[in-house]
Amino acid sequence: MDDQELLRLADQCVKCGLCLPHCPTFRLRRDEADSPRGRIALIQGLVTGQLPDNPRLAAHLDGCLECRACEVACPSLVQFGTLMDAARAARVARLPAPLRRWRKLRLDLLSAPRWLPLLALLGMGYRRLGGAVLARITGLLRRPRLAVLHGLALRLRVPRPPTERSAAAGVAAARSVALFRGCVAQALEPDVMAAARLVLARLGVSTMTPEEQVCCGAMHRHNGFPDAADALLAQNRAVFGDTAVVGIASACVAELRPALNATELCRALLEIPWPATLALRPLQGVVAVHEPCSHRNQLRDTVAVYELLARIPGLEVVPLPGNETCCGAAGTYLLDQPQTALALAADKVVALAGLRPRWLVTTNTGCAAHLGAAAEAAGLGVEVVHPVVLLARAISGAGD
């Protein structure tokens, strides 16, 4: 996007301020420059050359979670997410080449599945060799960045090779879908793919998981590398074509949807006619629903999660209070802005402590990792899972 187009988008903001109460960073800091309206003004100043791109300005712009709560609240329909993506791309384009290359390499590494087994082994080593205990005893976890890395290391698992399931006995495979597994999800939530395959098989849907699929590109797009994101999207388009794609993580689906025939898993499961013979065993307990920003503000379809869980007998399904506010995971945000990420997760912990649910469900991998770590650190004893994991337990009878 060129500067003219960027300014055109920014100029749609009438500076009414109605978005301010919805912005998590404004609520935390009470600083206009950390609000949507303030950030739009900073972008206008930057693009017109009235403001220099100095560390102070960078801190306000980089502090944005891209949660898009402001976009949903804006009566002028300002496309804040597109605007912030473009502003970040413009700033990255002006960086010295070595720094730009380093940032791109970091994103490439974070989104490349071939590194995940190594990361998972590092996480396992950290857990088994006493790193986690040592970090707790020495107080290292008081440092926000180390606390975030510690939480992720506790949740990393070695990715499992895919085992596609044929439709269950007695149910003809009337449909087939391709699964989009996401990159980090393979190491942070390996159970989710297995659960998705099991449930789809019981619904008479056969699955395939093309090995050639690549990262959706969201991390690149939101960190100022739109060309790399477009290239990943084109690669996925070449792999999947017009096939019906079911995505596990809501953020991936939000990124894929403009180019692919992609549906978020909960919605896809509701759209499939369920066999009359399918019996679900009860799961007893309260399940709190966390609504990831990508699901709530981009896909705008979190109702699918509630509708799906309502089909499981015994469950008491309640929204997690404060769902309108980002949990702080936000892609690479928790790595880059750990202090804010932890502050936002702390609010979720307070909400969870009030509810004391048996499970917390979320449809996004980064949120699951971030909230799982926060809940564990607070000793809440809540299991953080994808909704499809509970459905698989109810279907397979392994729930209670």
Chain residues in the site for ligand SF4 (CB under 6 A): 13-19, 22-25, 36-37, 39, 64-70, 74, 76, 78, 80
Q: How far is the CB of 80 from ligand SF4 (least distance, A)?
A: 5
| Residue (25 or 186) nearer to ligand SF4, CB | 25
Q: Whole-number minimum distance, CB 18 to ligand SF4, in Å?
A: 4
CB-wise, 10 or 214, nearer to ligand SF4? 10
- How far is CA 387 from its chain centroid? 14
Which of 25, 213 has the CB closer to ligand SF4? 25
Q: Which is nearer to ligand SF4, 8 or 356 (CB)?
A: 8
| Closest to ligand SF4 by CB, 60 or 181 | 60
CA distances from 212 to 109, 178, 186, 203, 324 (A): 17, 12, 15, 26, 36
Name the minimum Å distance from CB 81 to ligand SF4: 7
Alpha carbon distance 367, 345 (integer Å) = 9
* Closer of 260 and 327 to ligand SF4 (Cβ): 327
- The CB-of-115 to ligand SF4 minimum distance in angstroms stands at 29
CB of residue 179 vs ligand SF4: minimum separation in angstroms?
29
Three-state SS letters, the chain: CCHHHHHHHHCCCCCCCCCHHHCHHHHHHCCHHHCHHHHHHHHHHHHCCCCCCCHHHHHHHHCCCCCCHHHHHCCCCCCHHHHHHHHHHHHHHCCCHHHHHHHHHHHHHHCCHHHHHHHHHHHHHHHHCCHHHHHHHCCHHHCHHHHHHHHHHHHCCCCCCCCCCCCCCCCCCCEEEEEECCCCHHHHCHHHHHHHHHHHHHCCEEEECCCCCCCCCHHHHHCCCHHHHHHHHHHHHHHHCCCCEEECCHHHHHHHCCCCCEEEHHHHHHHCCCCCCCCCCCCCEEEEECCCHHHHHHHCCCHHHHHHHCCCCCEEEEECCCCCCCCCCCCCHHHHCHHHHHHHHHHHHHHHHHHCCCEEECCCHHHHHHHHHHHHHCCCCCEEECHHHHHHHHHHCCCC
Residue with Cβ nearer ligand SF4 (23 or 203): 23
Nearer to ligand SF4, 24 or 338 (CB): 24
Cβ nearer to ligand SF4, comparing 21 with 313: 21
Provide the minimum distance between the beta carbon of 26 and ligand SF4 in the complex, in angstroms, as a whole number: 6
CB of 5 to ligand SF4, least distance (A): 17
As measured in angstroms, the least distance from the Cβ of 304 to ligand SF4 is 23
Instruction: Report in angstroms how near the CB of residue 217 gets to ligand SF4 at its nearest.
Output: 19
